[in-house]
Amino acid sequence: MKGVTGRSVVGYQNLKVPASGTLIAVGNFDGVHLGHRYLIDHVLAQATSLSLMPVAMTFAPHPATVLSANAPILLTTTERKIELMLQVAPKLNIVVQPFDSEFSRIEAEVFVEQILLQSLNARYVLVGKNFHFGRARRGTPELLRALSDQKGFIAEAFELSGDTSGTFSSSRARSELIAGNLEGVAHVLGRPHAITGVVVPGDRRGRELGFPTANLAEIEEGLPLEGVYTCIVCDATPTEPVRSLGLGVMSIGPRPTVNSGFATEVHVLDFSADLYAKRLRVHVIHRLRNIERFGSVEALRVQIEADVAVTRERLDQWLRFNPRPLV
């Protein structure tokens, strides 16, 4: 996590706040799903009407990774979260607050009074209706409202939007991802789920088969079920502008035909440049099939050829209805 990225700062002490005050939305914002997007729109509208600086405070790492042995899978890295939030609202200011065991012991009242009010000059504080904060998760929307009456600031518990299946939430998107329902994940996020990883050397079997693959490591986001997927691949190396590389086929899981272990590898269609050490962002679109053991390497090659053909067909159709480039 870098110190400053665009309109974001690491640590609440590093945000320069105006004397006129701030409107602060506090939350994890994992996935920056449709519910978060509507919330951010609300933040900007309220901040503009009250002449306050719009601020979103999020945490890194996700508090659950510090507080629980069973932390949820991530939908977005911190850097991607910032990128998506600024896509929604370029004028938003983001505080990425480092979260550790010491920070988790701050009492809810201290968090509000010393950090939000004194340090960040908050005149308006907004949280989701199910958000908790402070030691032992004592901080609730009800406590926030009680403190607002005492301290003279505005408190709001925002109801996230949803559909007939429920609220748009990070937990709902994770459930859909774990179940392998990519369409359901995309419906909640408002875009396909994406993973990012650094390209590392592999065993070069894909190249020998005529389908060179980029082997991905250091993936932080949650992976879909083991299987073969269509995808759209981008180069998201931090030192360079994000650019699309093209359509791809991705395999997640073991490689039983060649007696190899688990791997996440991507074949980018019609692409031959060297990708080693690049950081790729892979937007996962369709699930094609399960991982299978084939009777020979030649049978595997024939199946990959078929996967590529189906990928072209399905992604060409998908792009007709989703023309906006994915980066």
**Radius of gyration of the chain, Cα coordinates, nearest whole angstrom:** 22
Q: What is the pLDDT of residue 2?
A: 43
Q: Which residues contact 37 (CB under 8 A, 6 or more apart)?
A: 88, 190
pTM (two decimals): 0.92
Positions of the chain with pLDDT lower than 70, given as ranges:
1-6, 204-208, 259
According to the model, what pLDDT value does residue 257 have?
Answer: 75
Closest CA to 257 of 302, 214, 217: 302
Spatial separation of the C-alpha atoms in residues 212 and 224, rounded to whole Å: 22
pLDDT score at 204: 66
Other Cβ atoms within 10 Å of 64 Cβ, number: 16
Task: Determine the pLDDT at residue 67.
Answer: 86
- Dig out the tokens for 235 from the structure: 């180069």
What is the pLDDT, as a whole number, of residue 6? 53
Contacts of 77 (CB under 8 A, 6+ apart): 196, 220, 221
Tens digit of each residue's pLDDT (9 = 90 or more) over 132-179? 999 999 999 999 999 999 999 999 999 889 999 999 999 999 999 998
Q: 271 vs 95, 157, 195, 210, 226, CA distance in Å? A: 38, 48, 20, 12, 24
- Please name each of the domains of the chain with its CATH number: 4-166 (3.40.50.620), 192-321 (2.40.30.30)
Q: End-to-end distance of the chain based on CA atoms, in angstroms?
A: 20
